[in-house]
Amino acid sequence: MNDQSLKQFVALVEETPVLGAVYDGTDHLRYANAAFRSTFAVAADEMPFWDEIMRRNLRSGVGTVIKSADFESWLISTKSRRGKLPYRAFEMDLQDGRWFLMTETVNADGWMLCIATDITPLKTGRRELRQARDFALRASQTDELTGISSRRAMMGALEMLNEAVTEGRVAAGCLCILDLDLFKNVNDTFGHQIGDQVLVEFARLTQTATRRRDHFGRIGGEEFMLIFPDTSLEEATRVVERVLHIVRQARPIPVAPAFSCTCSAGIAAAIPGQTTGSLYARADLALYRAKHAGRDRLELAV
């Protein structure tokens, strides 16, 4: 593309009513056209993070309609789906009454192109059916308590990772299983309601320490899973060590400010040709070793 063609392309992108934006791998806005900036109240000279845009829009009553009384829970749930697939399409209601079809395209480096097209003229009946379908799909992929991905969604993502490594579409990938240490003591001491709060806070803290492309979900009780696509064992280890540190420093029970908890983790690197079950079993065995080596630690699978 020569300079003249590039100028024409940029001019068209700026003039189109279609919303367009580019985020980097940390969800930092790097480019947005005029339609996007106007819709989400982003000034031409600023490049905020996505969650900052959502917080500002909520306060100002503009942008995306958030159908939840708990914004932080909505944020956690939305982040569990955002940018996790090479391509995703979904519908989005705006505060000004418009209805958009949003697409996300993510490259190998984690950069994401977002394109949104106004589909408000579609028939209301079809819209309600599509929204009901989308709600049911999200519910099946979301853990009801924490708002992060469900076991079903995580096992599907694990299968995708294993296939990608086996077929050579990515050079590496890792699985980590995490388990809160001595969690039964939390329920026995403070009750199950406080125990649930600890699980929710653990999910929130862990999500802040991970990258947007990492998959994070709850697979049962106090056990969680992290999937690292196209990631070396060394990179995955750094992320998990960061998680362990953040959890160790946290004080998740307001009524007991001195209380702290820890978690143990096991990581396995995906091996071409192995089964998904074998990958899971290797990470689970590494977690078992971490528990029996004193807890609050990370062990690597052999």
Residue partners of 210: CB distance under 8 A and separation at least 6:
216, 226, 239, 243
Residue 136: alpha-carbon gap to chain centroid: 19
Q: Give 150's DSSP letter.
A: -
- What is the residue range of 220's domain? 151-300
* CA–CA distance, 211 with 234 (Å, rounded to integer): 15
- Other Cβ atoms within 10 Å of 230 Cβ, number: 18
Residue 135 shares a structural domain with residue 163: no
| Residue 121 binned pLDDT confidence (cut-offs 50, 70, 90) | confident
Q: Strand pairing of 112-118 and 19-23?
A: antiparallel
DSSP helix/strand/coil, 53: helix
Nearest to 139 by CA among 80, 85, 227: 80
- Average of per-residue pLDDT across 269-296: 97
User: What is the total count of domains within the chain?
Assistant: 2
Choose one of 92, 112, 140: the last residue of a domain.
Answer: 140
Confidence of residue 127 (pLDDT cuts 50, 70, 90): low
d(CA 257, CA 158): 37
pLDDT confidence tier of residue 139, bands split at 50, 70 and 90: confident
Residue 68 included in any domain = yes
Chain centroid to Cα 297, Å, comes to 24
Handedness of CA 142, 90, 68, 201 (dihedral sign): positive
- Residue 32: which CATH number? 3.30.450.20
Same domain, 228 and 262: yes
Residue 96: inside a domain, yes or no? yes
pLDDT digits (tens, 9 = 90+) for 9-34: 889 999 999 999 999 999 999 999 99
Report the alpha-carbon distance of residue 68 to residue 74 in Å, rounded: 6
pTM of the shown model:
0.81
pLDDT of residue 4: 83
Q: For 45, list phi and psi in degrees, rounded to 5.
A: -100, 15
Give backbone dihedrals phi and psi of 300, rounded to 5 degrees, phi first: -100, 140
Tokens representing 117? 């097209």
- Quote the mean pLDDT of the chain: 92
Classified as helix, coil or strand, 194 is: helix
Segment among 121-130, 231-240, 292-301 with least mean pLDDT: 121-130
Query: Is-contact 15 35, C-beta < 8 A?
Result: no
222 is catalytic: yes
> Do 134 and 161 fall into the same domain?
no
- Domain assignment of residue 146, yes or no: no
Q: Any idea of the CA torsion for 199, 205, 143, 108, to the nearest 10 degrees?
A: -150
What pLDDT, on a 0 to 100 scale, did the predictor assign at position 134?
A: 73
Contact in structure between 79 and 207 (CB atoms under 8 Å): yes
Rounded Cα distance between 235 and 20, Å, is: 31
List 222, 223, 241, 299, catalytic entry? 222
Cβ contacts of residue 93 below 8 Å, gap of 6+?
64, 65, 67, 99, 100
Residue 1 has pLDDT above 80, yes or no: no
Same domain, 130 and 159: no
User: Domain boundary at 140, 172, 203, which?
Assistant: 140
